Amino acid sequence: MKSILLIGLGRFGRCIAEKLNEMDHQVMAIDKIEERVNAVLPLVTDAQIGDATNEAFLQTLGVDNYDICLVAISEDFQSSLEVTSLLKDLGARKVIARASSEVHKKFLLRNGADDVVYPEKQIAAWTVIRHVTDHVLETIELDSEYSIYDITVPEEWDGKTVGSLNIRRKYDLNVLAVRGSSGPSAVVNSDTVLHANEIILVLGKWKDVQRCFRI
């Protein structure tokens, strides 16, 4: 369980609050609009109405006591930038901020954000991969290059072993797990037999996934 300071309770911030609640984390939620604060009260440990661009207000929160400070402000980039900078000045351990463009991302990183989330870009990438490609069902981005992909086993791989396909050497991809009719298996080695329409979890770069699965 981690302690989270969540600033900004618009649609994005509320979705974060819902997920953190599911995962049983302790959350202090902040927004300057009373209705938004009231709406998330059942989902968070505590909540306050306040302007996070006000340094005196932020100081009262003890931002250095939280494991993570999440800046989920979406309507006002200037406020997001100011809050991110203030949090770092006040000793926040880790600040994650929401960006709505590549330019915003660069400014947030320059002003103290430890990491930046860009939901529109991530959702767009997921939508294209999920609905336009034939084999890829899901993707989890690990960094700017590597992701984990849920991929259906092609028919031409039916009955072949991971070793005989030589996926790692040919395409620099790692098969992490196989999910078949009998359930998931995280024990994958060169002798693991694959069957058409099973789901495999593959770690690698998108360009290598494209080559391997002819996307």
Q: Which of 116-125, 149-158, 190-199 has the lowest mean pLDDT?
A: 116-125
pLDDT for the residue 75: 78
- 164, 158 in Cβ contact below 8 A? no
Is the pLDDT at 183 greater than 70, yes or no? Answer: no
* pTM greater than the 0.75 cutoff: no
Q: Where are the domains of the chain?
A: 3-117, 122-213
Fold (topology level) of 122-213: Alpha-Beta Plaits (3.30.70)
pLDDT for the residue 188: 83
Is the pLDDT at 101 greater than 90, yes or no? Answer: no
- Alpha helix (H) residue ranges in the chain: 11-22, 34-40, 55-61, 77-89, 102-110, 119-132, 162-165, 167-171, 206-213
Cα–Cα distances in angstroms (integers) from residue 37 to residues 4, 15, 20, 47, 116, in the given order: 15, 13, 16, 6, 24
Confidence of residue 179 (pLDDT cuts 50, 70, 90): confident
Residue of 129 and 63 predicted with greater confidence:
63
CA dihedral 13→81→85→120, nearest 10 degrees, is: 50
- 84, 113 in Cβ contact below 8 A? yes
| pLDDT tens sequence across 143-155 | 768 888 888 888 8
**What amino acid is encoded at 6 in this protein?**
L
| pLDDT tens sequence across 107-118 | 999 989 999 887
Residue of 39 and 144 predicted with greater confidence:
39
pLDDT for the residue 123: 64
Structure-block tokens of residue 85: 């900078």
Give domain 3-117's CATH number out of 3.40.50.970, 3.20.20.140, 3.40.50.720, 3.20.20.70: 3.40.50.720
Is the pLDDT at 185 greater than 80, yes or no? Answer: no
Is the pLDDT at 121 greater than 70, yes or no? Answer: no
| pLDDT tens sequence across 43-92 | 999 999 999 999 999 999 999 999 999 999 987 889 999 999 999 999 99
Is the pLDDT at 94 greater than 80, yes or no? Answer: yes
pLDDT for the residue 146: 82
